[in-house]
Structure 1
Amino acid sequence: MRQKGRFKPWLAALAATLSTAALLLAPGTAHARGPGQVAARYLNLHQCMYYSASATNHFTTVVPSSDGRFLAGTNVSATADSRPNCGAGDGNYGLVPILSGVKALDLRAGRYLNVHQCMYYSASTTNHFSTVVASSDGRFLAGTNVSTTADSRPNCGAGDGNYQLVPILSGVKTLDLTTGRYVNLHQCMYYWGGAANHFSTVVPSRDGRFLAGTNIAATADSRPNCGPGDGRYALVPLLSGVRAFSLA
């Protein structure tokens, strides 16, 4: 009986260790993986720019719009995409390949996915548009990256002379890849009829007036989480969207 008793503490410790390991490996559990331990390799972030000549208006999608008319091929894959995958538009708004782009983000390169949003504006056309990756022509930038450090300021370019950066409508959000199973990428489209002007946000603007609920969580989001706008620019639910990408 004494001999059996000697093994009880050891067995209890083993049971506790196994229980902890099971919790750490459970899908979607917070801190389920360490930096660089995600199963998915690349988040291929696609940026698709659409334009209407009649409205002199651009807007960007990074996930498909809720009505399915405006596409963007953002995905998680074992391979890196090198060309943006976009739709043709809806007849009025057509794709602008030179302002579209793609960036393959290596999810094993660091703990943080730093999503940068850069908003550009032309006063001559009263027209905004946003970028989350660099445009194909390199004129409009956005510093979205995966890193061992968390970014606190958006990294953007100055624009091209006609379109200039609007710092107050730009922003950055740092997502800790160790804290959940899904990257939930939210796209919120805003519109002002007075200027026939759309623009989209993927993270909140720095002034907090225009929101987007992009996050990492244990669960997949199915509806875009957006704000109502600022009274002049209002949310357009049909052109907003969300897509959940599994890291497991």
Structure 2
Amino acid sequence: MRTRKWLLAAVVGLTAWAFAPGPAAGAAPARYLNLQQCMYYWGPAADHFTTVTPSSDGRFKAGTNVSDTKDTAPACGAGDGNFAPVPILSGVTALDLRSGRYLNLQQCTYFSPSAFDYFTTVGGSQDNRFKAGTNVSDTQDPPNDAVCGSGDGNYVLVPSESYTRSLDLTSGKFLNVHQCLFYSAEHTDHDTKYLGGGGSYSAGSNVSGTADTAPVCGPGAAGYDPIPLLSGVRALPLS
């Protein structure tokens, strides 16, 4: 009797599975990459840092996603009581993935000598002095020609750490956005990187046929070390 009941349950389950609705064949991929940038700041240390992806510490998350609708505000974590979100330097860049072949991911790094504070942006915010010109296009942007804001006089652009990586959106099923946080205990300073070619402060953002599960980060240098807790990767489906 137990065998018959099991067989009946299996048949019912199989029938339900066979007629359950599934994803539509040939469904179009999501149209927009909503690149969310969340800036955090701790006043006593004059220390900024950005996030674009979630990490192991949800207090500093950012909700970058792909969707058929444009996001209008970033979904940022609340911070940890010391570091708090900075709305004027946080924002969303909604990019139409159907408008071109390449995601020209731009990274702009700024530095304040008086505060000894680095921070990096990848998109726009309410303060265009610190923008980064990430875009989707049929042409590849020059690698050393990121479109960055000029800073505010206190924070100035660091050209050697500001550049573009052109990712071919047709070359894989996933856009893997890597976020690598580095920290200097000597200077009480965090900085984030999203790009790079294997250098000390690099991050391995890419387009691939597989979804990355861990960020690929450089080893750091000059007293700046990787912080795994605040580093992460977001694998976004392109098809």
Deviations 1:117-162 (A, max 9, x none): 0000111100011100022222211010000100112111211111
1:63 corresponds to which of 32, 49, 53: 53
Instruction: Give the structure 2 partner of residue 97 of structure 1.
Output: 87
Structure 2: gaps spanning 5 or more residues: 1-26
What's the % identity of the aligned pairs?
57
Between the two proteins, the alignment pairs up a number of residues equal to 211
Instruction: Give the structure 1 partner of residue 158 of structure 2.
Output: 166
Checking the alignment, whether the CA contact within 8 Å between 1:38 and 1:108 is kept in structure 2 is: no
Checking the alignment, whether the CA contact within 8 Å between 1:38 and 1:247 is kept in structure 2 is: no
2:231 corresponds to which letter in structure 1? S
1:230 equivalenced with 2:236 (yes/no):
no
Deviations 1:85-118 (A, max 9, x none): 2111111110000011110010000000000000
TM-score (norm 2): 0.85
2:116 corresponds to which of 108, 126, 131: 126
Change (3 A) 1:180 1:221: same
1:213 equivalenced with 2:200 (yes/no):
no
C-alpha root-mean-square deviation of aligned residues, in Å?
1.5
* Separation of aligned partners in 2, 1:55 and 1:108: 42
Instruction: Give the structure 2 partner of residue 154 of structure 1.
Output: 146
Deviations 1:157-183 (A, max 9, x none): 211111100011112111001100000
1:133 corresponds to which letter in structure 2? G
Structure 1: gaps spanning 5 or more residues: 1-36
Checking the alignment, whether the CA contact within 8 Å between 1:47 and 1:72 is kept in structure 2 is: yes
TM alignment of 1:174-189, pairs within 5 A: 174-189=166-181
Deviant stretches of 4+, over 3 Å: none
1:114 corresponds to which letter in structure 2? N
Instruction: Give the structure 1 partner of residue 104 of structure 2.
Output: 114
Checking the alignment, whether the CA contact within 8 Å between 2:173 and 2:210 is kept in structure 1 is: yes
- Secondary structure in 1 matching 2:30: coil
- Secondary structure in 2 matching 1:226: coil
* Separation of aligned partners in 2, 1:38 and 1:182: 14
Instruction: Give the structure 2 partner of residue 11 of structure 1.
Output: none
1:38 CA drift (Å): 6.6
- Secondary structure in 2 matching 1:139: helix
